[in-house]
Amino acid sequence: MNHSEHSSFREKLIEHLFIGELLKLSWMGFGCTLEVASPEVDNAGYDLIVEDNGVVRHIQIKASYVGSKTASQKVHARLSEKPSGCVTWIYFNEDTLELGPFLFFGSLPGEKLPSLDGLKVAKHTKGNQSGFKAERPNIRVLPKSWFKNFSSIDEVYEALFGAPFNGLHTTRV
């Protein structure tokens, strides 16, 4: 399948697979307490609002296939205004769509997004008639080195909500 030809379909698919993995963890170990919502309008950069363990997260989702050379992601500056805003960069297998590893940019549950000050302002990918690529004042270029690397969805859940998953209990520790 040509991933770039159907990129919006793929983006939504990866988002739904990610939500499914989070819901599965909530089912298996946290008493089905995870709540998930999507914004009607995307003007602050986040794709999902999730809540569990008393923590509300506004998540901007990014996706790349395993082996991709992508060195940065474009992040909306207004994400830092949201409670516990964060960016989850999901890698996936091109053939099987299996998720992982995961990159995470955010603070501890309940804390604001780390500052985006000093990051390069992104430019439009397409130029105008003259070829000029204008700046996008609300978008910052976030280098891959600023992300924490997680190998499993369990680690992502813990980073999001502060509750470790061990699969053996039905209530929080």
Report yes or no on 135 lying in a domain.
yes
Summarize pLDDT for 115-144 with one digit per residue, the tens.
898 899 998 888 888 888 889 999 999 999
The reported pLDDT for the residue numbered 170 is: 39
Summarize pLDDT for 48-105 with one digit per residue, the tens.
999 998 999 999 999 999 999 999 999 999 999 988 999 999 999 999 999 999 999 9
CATH number of the domain encompassing residue 97: 3.40.1350
- Closest listed residue to residue 49, CA positions, set 40, 41, 58: 58
Could you tell me the residue range of the domain that residue 68 belongs to? 7-161
Identify the three-state secondary structure at position 56.
strand
pLDDT of 145 strictly over 60: yes
Q: In what order do the strands lie in the sheet with 121-123?
A: 72-76, 135-143, 121-123
pTM above 0.85, yes or no: yes
Phi-psi region of 121 (alpha: psi -120 to 50; beta: other; left: phi over 0): beta
- At residue 14 the predicted structure's pLDDT band, cuts being 50, 70 and 90, is very high
Report yes or no on 167 lying in a domain.
no
The reported pLDDT for the residue numbered 2 is: 60
Report yes or no on 48 lying in a domain.
yes
Q: Tell me which of 153 and 117 has the higher pLDDT.
A: 153
Report yes or no on 122 lying in a domain.
yes
- Closest listed residue to residue 110, CA positions, set 87, 88, 86: 86
Report yes or no on 14 lying in a domain.
yes
- At residue 31 the predicted structure's pLDDT band, cuts being 50, 70 and 90, is confident
Report yes or no on 144 lying in a domain.
yes
The reported pLDDT for the residue numbered 154 is: 94
pLDDT of 171 strictly over 50: no
